[in-house]
Chain A
Amino acid sequence: MEIKEQNQIIEKKQIDRQDSNDEYVIKLEDVCMDFYTRDEKVDNLKEFLVRFFRGKLEKKRFRILEDVSFDVKKGESIALIGHNGAGKSTLLKIIAGIYKPTKGSVLVNGTVAPLLNLGAGFDYEATGKENVYLNGAILGYSKKELEKKYKEIVDFAELHEYMHIPLKNYSSGMVARLGFAIAIDVKPDILLVDEILSVGDENFRRKCASKINELKEQGVSFVIVSHNMAQVKNLCEKAIWIENSKVMDYGEVNDIVKKYTEYCNSLKH
């Protein structure tokens, strides 16, 4: 009788755990990230040998992130706020799978689209059209999908008459618009956004905002890094405040933003 009860409890626990795993799209537990750097980057043999014989080759360890834990539920969005160099972008790259954490575990459930830098894959000698195909391939589109989406992308970027000239003749705003149009057309479960929501002119920015809201309504989760607090409040339910590689606070967005703003103001005076 007793054993049966225990079994039931164990079963119930297992069911709970399964439920919770389905529910979370991102779950980070005690994630630490270390970078090793030498004082100056030694990337040639002479320098290496000189330092090797002088015994100056010790690496310095930088802890970029320390014991970061949080989770994002399906359809929920989270903002990473904090000062420059706090480790926010590194955290995004860990979620994207570009970096492997030194310690801790990362569970990501669903497809991830990292929008870390617009046009990172652009070749400035190639035309706009060629770049749409190249960049699209890198973001994971198939050829068929791209052929279907090409018109949509160009429409969104509003660059019809420029698609056949090399990117080097574009203005920086135009490049950013093209990059955003390609990236935003993806339909992922999780979208990682790093300070790119303020590209282009006022008109284009409004268009981006409405596109983002549309994706959010479709149930896409966002992890965004932004210094625009109004945007953060508008888009996210939760926020994490990271300062000097550590999580200062984590919780409901209005709360955290308020605390962070107060902290910033206290630094000024």
Chain B
Amino acid sequence: MKNSGKTGFLQKSWFSRKKTSFVKNSYIVKELVKRNIKVQYRNSAIGVLWTILNPLLNMLVMFIVFSSMFGKNDPYYALYLLCGTITFALMRNATTQSMTSIVNNRGLLTKNKISQYVFPVAHNISAVINFAFSLVALLAVMLFVAIKNYPTGFSIFSPNILLVFVMLPALFLFSYGLSLVLATVYVFFRDIQHFYNVFLTLWTYLTPMFYKPEDFFANAEAGDVSAKLISWIININPMYHFVDYFRDVVYFCASGGIGLPGFGDVLVLYGWGLGAFLVGTLVFSLTRPKFIYNI
């Protein structure tokens, strides 16, 4: 009968206990997500519209800077940029916000008995919702590019685009797992925030978002040593696979249909996603009883 710390559930079964706490936690997550989305652009004149405008403007800046370098022969270069940046932005937003979420919510965690998981989960869901908003921006750019390249341009509106929803769960698992690791480390070492910020800059450049990795792959085939090294780095970078998959389904349909991503590509994505998810969950669940004494 001794049940240290457990409250009120002595008579209930394990299953109904899990169910109650799941229902409770999912409602908390829902409210947190609502707050995250609203707080982002509170007091700005156009509010939530920024979630669509933001990726568009970012893409425009990159287009102005890089189109003459990497997009010379590519009429769909704007699309190439946008696919990469919004995919990467999902991961970046989710992880940077989740990293500090446990410590920033210390007021809640030390005064209420709530699950520590709700904060990283809420930030990851918010990032997915923001991603969904940027898909509206993507559609706008697709329309623009299609009109510009009339009549062949309209081939980009193919049902293949729906394959993005095959990638999305894997990307969610990946950034969620990474978020859990970062949030855990941040509780014990605040320095990780600065390391991670620098690392993210590096990561942004190592992920082919504005340049074309195919150039490196071609040079590596030809026997160039440094190109081989760069190709290797690009290939072990999980974000490359996510970005590449998304671009394959949206972009390559347009440029002649080089081929849809195959089952092997999907396996790679889910390998990274599940791997990160498992490691993150393990690290987080083992250390979370100690969080409260360190936040």
Contact B191 A46 (CB under 8 A): yes
Which range holds the interface residue count of chain B?
Answer: 35 or more
CA–CA, A43 to B4, complex, Å?
30
Q: Which A residue sits closest to B111, measured CB to CB?
A: A120
Question: B residues 4-42 with Cβ under 8 Å of A?
Answer: 4-8, 10, 23-24, 27-28, 30-32, 34-35, 38-39, 42
Contact B292 A123 (CB under 8 A): no
**Contact flags A120-139 to B (C-beta < 8 A → 1, else 0):** 11010110001001100111
With contacts A99-B292, A108-B6, A112-B8 taken as known, whether A138 is within 8 angstroms of B189 at the C-beta atoms is no
For A130, what are the chain B residues with a Cβ–Cβ distance below 8 Å?
Answer: 34-35, 38
Question: Helix, strand, loop or mixed for chain B's interface?
Answer: loop
Cβ distance B195 to chain A, nearest Cβ, rounded Å: 9
B1 near A21 (CB under 8 angstroms)? yes
Determine the distance from Cα of A48 to Cα of B111 in the docked complex, in whole angstroms.
29
Interface presence of A251 (CB below 8 A): no
Give Cα A45 to B32, complex, Å.
31
Contact (Cβ within 8 A) B27 A120: no
Query: Is B191 a contact of A121 with CB atoms below 8 Å?
Result: no
Q: Report the minimal beta-carbon distance from A41 to chain B, rounded to whole angstroms.
A: 9
Interface string of A194-213 (1 = CB under 8 A from B): 00000000000000000000
A248 part of interface (Cβ distance < 8 Å): no
Given contacts A108-B7, A111-B7, A121-B107, contact A139 B293 (CB under 8 A): no
Residue A82 lies at the interface, judged by CB distance under 8 Å to chain B: no
Q: Please, how many angstroms separate the alpha-carbon atoms of A48 and B191 in the complex?
A: 11
Q: Which residues of B contact A143 (CB under 8 A)?
A: 27
Instruction: Tell me the complex Cα distance, A146–B77, Å.
Output: 50
Interface centre among B5, B189, B191 (most CB of A within 10 A): B5
Q: In the complex, which residue of chain B has the Cβ closest to the Cβ of A45?
A: B191
Which residue of A110, A125, A139 contacts B8 across the interface (Cβ within 8 Å)? Answer: A110
Say whether B72 faces chain A, with CB atoms less than 8 Å apart: no
A105 located at the interface, meaning its Cβ lies under 8 Å from any Cβ of chain B in the complex: yes
Q: Is the CB of B293 within 8 A of A35?
A: yes
Closest A residue to B107 by beta carbon equals A120
Return the chain A residue nearest B20 by Cβ.
Answer: A140
Q: Are A98 and B3 in contact (CB under 8 A)?
A: no
**Sampled A-B contacts (11; CB under 8 Å):** A43-B190, A96-B7, A97-B5, A100-B4, A101-B5, A107-B3, A107-B4, A116-B112, A120-B108, A121-B108, A123-B35
